[in-house]
């Protein structure tokens, strides 16, 4: 079943916080964090299955597309491997922009997903993540 992708509503925030807690040993996102950025949710049969958080980091200037950063893509454990992350990313990537994201070096499944959508590796940030300490692969995709 293809998820419905929609803009986050304030009443979704407790569910997003719970998905974040289920997904990470040390969650980074709390209720306040979700209110500061663009957030889309994926619904399956009326239940929130995952979310994507992004922001514009540089506006469009003189005919150049804006730059956007994907800050977080999380799918609830029971909805993984059902295309939820792909649907969320495809919705975000529908905008003309240059996109950036960071992904843990050990998260090969996410790296494969991002490469499949057209992202390329452009750098490494050593010791970017904590708990455990790990480098972040920086990826980019241009949709102009």
**pTM for the whole structure:** 0.92
Residue 22 has pLDDT above 90, yes or no: yes
Please tell me the distance from the alpha carbon of residue 117 to that of residue 105, in angstroms, as a whole number. 18
Q: What is the pLDDT of residues 61-84, one digit of tens each?
A: 888 889 999 999 999 999 999 999
Domain spans, the chain: 4-143
Q: Cis omega before residue 132 (within 30°)? A: yes
> What fold characterizes domain 4-143?
Aminopeptidase (3.40.630)
- Rounded (10°) CA dihedral 135, 106, 52, 143: 80
């Amino acid at each position: 079943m293809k998820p419905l992708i929609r803009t986050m509503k304030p009443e979704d925030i407790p569910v997003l916080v719970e998905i974040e807690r289920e997904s990470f040993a040390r969650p980074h996102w709390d209720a306040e964090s979700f209110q500061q950025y663009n957030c889309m949710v994926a619904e399956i049969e009326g239940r929130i299955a995952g979310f994507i958080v992004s922001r514009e980091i540089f506006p469009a200037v003189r005919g150049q597309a804006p730059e956007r950063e994907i800050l977080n893509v999380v799918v609830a454990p029971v909805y993984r491997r059902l295309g939820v992350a792909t649907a969320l990313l495809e919705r975000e990537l529908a905008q003309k922009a240059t996109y950036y994201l960071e992904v843990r070096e050990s998260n090969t499944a996410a790296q494969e997903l991002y490469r499949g959508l057209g992202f390329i590796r452009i750098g490494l940030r050593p010791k970017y993540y904590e708990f455990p300490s790990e480098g972040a692969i920086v990826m980019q995709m241009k949709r102009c």
